Structure 1
């Protein structure tokens, strides 16, 4: 079946042995051919040719997949003269050039080739920078050839107007307040994934239908908002492609990995990004990002979410690669007189308690720690780590008592304060009552603002920094491998909104107290002075 050059060539490519495409692209080709086989529709090839002639004004040409979308969305009509595909949905990986496509499409539809006077276009996004991204692409093209375009367009940083048609292009992050804004010919949504509800979407599209050939174009990657408008739109698109739902004029162009595991095979990245084979610089950048993702998938979830269009959902990973933990197990420098912040963590005082001091020198962090283990802990028979070695290394104390007294940890902090400047103490909000009175005796209290009680939200905020510090070898915690054991016992759980929480892999035989004490200190590292502190008493925090 022959339709037109731009459509036929892309369909032929998708079905060729050369193509690496997701199954939704194959379904799309079947869907388009079915429409032309069973319905009375046609391509206005003269109009399409005139539209594509406008590429001479742009610093780039539309790629095959873009010409395919443009032809179907803008130049395919039913016999009654109405557009067959007035709604275009483009879900492609970051870097594919979707804003470039939208810039050309909106520029073209403002010209007399469209044949509609006052065909206003409203562009929407949830942030101003994103809303004006495509607008500025067109603005810059006009500015670069202002002597030529001044006869055809008027423009400023808020509105672009075609002189012949009176069509206006504007960008918005909220509902437009002008009469023109209520009568658009076309509405664009950029980065649809960021919308959490339909409030603005419904207002933005409410004025469509007052002008001939009403259109919507939605361009987006995947994002972190779940069960919102994008997820529902994708479900609808998939039902359309599978023939389970009438399309109602929607053209779904979806590109993503068929299976998340395909991320580890470079050629499969083309499934998510139909432009990748044309952009070698983009491929090079993605290779660099993949290395970071592989080493630290928790911090670099955007690679899966936005490059591959496969958000991880709720996933569990080790906090970092084992090799990063090995590299962190190295000797500490002499930090006498340096500023630091203390972190404390424990599950129960009849088990493990860990305290440590976090130093920051430039970008490098150092963690000086100590562990107390209750000999009455019921979990000791389960623990395979050689605690005796840590005790011999001087970083662990066995406490032969029914529990570990907070006084032992506070006494350790008091001794450390003779060597280092402890700016503050951080610990879990839910466990601070046991330590509060003892810490107050040596000068740390919530009232003095040098005791921080962390909440889960604090950990979520610092998780990307922790991943970065580990992957870039910016942390050292001494030569005893017990910290390596603590951190390896932690799993980083990413929820459907992209928030990270640190949890125990196994609560009884794999302790995490040392890791969580370090994480606690990391949430307050901004109070650390990054140089030796002179002229101050080292026990300045002690009463």
Structure 2
């Protein structure tokens, strides 16, 4: 069977103040009229989509919509939910004047149970058939694990196996590939291990559950071949997850920048469904904000979430903690013990001022020299604290395989030094301190009492010694003293460390636990793979923050100019 050219070539591109497409307007009206509960991001998305159609000359390929709709007869769900039609039509059936897709990247973040794998399966099936009309439009479904990558692929294979006599005339398939005879297009699944793969010549690359992705490397490798086939696309479809400062957080930040009008969309369709705040979980009518399929699903599914909610509400830390993160799209963390909220960590990540010449104190933390070493400079201006961090990580650390963060990317940012040696030589740290002394006035140093001997001679050479009071030895009881101060700084937004994902990670890996006399102390959440060194260096610096001269105490003299 011969393939036909893209259907969009027969339609005229035009601007639309009124969008006459029920698959698009149906969902827009549900959100805009409040007939469904939707989050603020969805409301912003509706306004954004209407603006795009009003200002740009676009094609809505209704023939393609009709052709894809006929393919639903082969799927067990037989119909798409309104939000799925909305996403599918915008992503697959709307084109620019030049014939290219208006949105060639889809970022779709929805609560677990919304049916994302069904959408991936249907989308993939449509694009390899003659209804798409593009030969060799291969689809790669990618995930961090084989089990996850196979889900949507297996959904299609089950359909083909269910009516083998019918489908063998138009498809060839086995356990790893599904090939459309009419277009020569292939659906296959791929997993992590980017170094062993190249991008190939895909038409669509789908990344399923990117909340498990720490680095962009796999995505970058598997999308290098996009553009070699007409109408090539990339989709990221996921629920939320527990890994912070990975791919998903970047995706969400990009979506917010587009929806807030801060950045051009660059072909990205930002579809994000979450609760607007954690408190909304206590009203089950809000749950469809995160799962727009919820009102269309069987009652037993709603009952399942109710059971999960009751278990979570009784014990948020241990009773099905994934309810908030996976179902509701609000990263929970360890709410019972976390240092502070994700929101406060992001507030701390705003830009640092120029701190040149300012007085500060230095906090150091080292567990083992063959593992990680961290340093934090802490500045004070009124109630505000500014922090500059740097860490060193030994590539021969026994914990390296357990660490699930992009250390190489952080190295490129200049916030961490990767040491390819048997241990982190103290000279690397003291050289950094020496350079810092040239830019800032480091008045004293604080570090763990039991680790002082590791660096005491080098610190003495730099002018810091416990004997003269310029080195303070931190003990566990000191954590109890600074915990309320650090907590207040986070709560009030009075701590800033710049764009430093490592500090967010260190802090997110630390918990507070009850201690004697109603106080709290800091501990690691997990002893090996989730490092805390940067946060403990910060805590050490806070212990001696009272030694930082107030800005008002400093006197600046006008420069003397000699003729």
How far, CA to CA, are the matches of 1:501 and 1:17 in structure 2? Answer: 40
Instruction: Name which of 201, 205, 218 aligns with 1:183.
Output: 201
1:495 and 1:36 mapped to 2: Cα distance? 40
Deviation at 1:2, TM superposition (A): 2.4
1:193 aligns with 2:211: yes
Q: Using CA pairs below 8 Å that are at least 6 residues apart, which structure has the higher relative contact order? A: 1
Sort the Cα spacing of 1:293 and 1:44 in 2 relative to 1 into closer, same or farther, 3 A.
same
C-alpha separation in 2, matches of 1:292 and 1:495: 28
Instruction: Give the CA deviation at 1:178.
Output: 7.8
Show the counterpart of 1:205.
Answer: 223
C-alpha change, 1:509 and 1:22, in structure 2 (3 Å) is closer
Residues 503 and 85 (structure 1), Cα distance of their counterparts in 2 relative to 1, 3 Å cut: same
The runs of at least 4 aligned residues of structure 1 exceeding 2 Å deviation read 174-179, 313-318, 494-502, 509-512
Within 5 Å, give how 1:128-207 maps onto structure 2.
128-173=146-191, 174-175=193-194, 182-207=200-225
Matched, 1:302 2:322: yes
1:296 CA displacement: 1.4
Alignment equivalent of 2:282, drawn from 257, 264, 283: 264
Between the aligned partners of 1:93 and 1:222, the Cα distance in structure 2 is 7
CA-to-aligned-CA distance 1:470-506 (integer Å, 9 cap, x gap)? xxxxxxxxxxxxxxxxxxxxxxxx98998685711x5
Q: Cα offset for 1:317?
A: 5.7
For residues 145 and 155 of structure 1, what CA distance do their matches in structure 2 show? Answer: 13
RMSD: 2.4
Deviation of 1:313 (Å): 3.8
- Show the counterpart of 2:406: none
Map of 1:398-413 to 2, 5 A cutoff? none
Structure 1 or 2, whichever has the larger Rg, is: 1
Alignment partner, residue 37 of structure 1: 54
Aligned ranges 1:203-352 → 2 under 5 Å: 203-279=221-297, 280-299=299-318, 300-313=320-333, 315-316=335-336
1:54 aligns with 2:64: no
String of CA shifts for 1:245-268, please: whole Å, max 9, x gaps.
Answer: 000111111000001110111101
Q: 1:311 to 1:497 in 2, by over 3 A?
A: farther
Looking at structure 1, the residues matched to 335 and 194 of structure 2 have their Cα atoms a distance apart, in angstroms, of 36
Tell whether the 8 Å contact from 1:314 to 1:496 is kept in structure 2 after alignment: no
Match of 1:419 in 2: none
Q: d(CA) in 2 for partners of 1:511 and 1:223? A: 28
Which stretch shows the higher mean deviation, 202-211 or 12-21? 12-21
Answer yes or no: is the 8 Å Cα contact 1:297–1:317 preserved in 2.
no
Q: Verify the 8 A CA contact 2:337 2:513 in the aligned structure 1.
A: no
C-alpha distance in 1, partners of 2:37/2:131? 35
Q: Is the 8 A contact 1:255 1:309 kept in 2?
A: yes
Query: CA distance change for structure 1 residues 290 and 84 in 2, over 3 Å: closer, same or farther?
Result: same
Indicate the SS of the match to 1:117.
coil
1:296-355 Cα deviation digits (max 9, x unpaired) = 11122200000001012463369xxxxxxxxxxxxxxxxxxxxxxxxxxxxxxxxxxxxx
Unmatched 5+ stretches in structure 2: 1-17, 339-449, 451-503, 524-563
In the other structure, the counterpart of 2:128 is 110
In the alignment, the residues of structure 2 paired with residue 276 and residue 147 of structure 1 have an alpha-carbon distance, to the nearest angstrom, of 36
2:188 counterpart SS class? strand
Structure 1 gaps, min length 5: 319-429, 431-493, 517-543
Determine whether 1:508 maps to 2:517: yes
Deviations, residues 181-202 of structure 1 (Å, cap 9, x unaligned) = 5111110000011100111111
1:25 aligns with 2:25: no
Give the corresponding residue for 2:360. none
| Alpha-carbon offset, residue 242 of structure 1 | 1.2
Q: Does structure 1 conserve the Cα–Cα contact (< 8 Å) formed by 2:142 and 2:207?
A: yes
1 CA distance for matches of 2:206 and 2:273?
19
Measure, in 2, the Cα distance between the counterparts of 1:243 and 1:77: 22
Deviation at 1:18, TM superposition (A): 2.1
DSSP 3-state at the match of 1:169? strand
Distance in 2 separating the partners of 1:164 and 1:177: 30
Secondary structure of residue in 2 paired with 1:88: strand
TM-score by length of 1: 0.59
| 1:213/1:225 CA distance change after superposition, 3 Å | same
Give the Cα–Cα distance (whole angstroms) in 2 for the partners of residues 282 and 263 of structure 1. 16
- Aligned-partner Cα distance in 2 for 1:33–1:511: 51
Deviation by residue 1:203-222 (Cα, 9 ceiling, x = unmatched): 01111110000111111011
Give 1:3 deviation, angstroms. Answer: 3.2
Cα–Cα, structure 1 residues 163 and 175, in superposed 2: closer, same or farther, change >3 Å?
A: farther
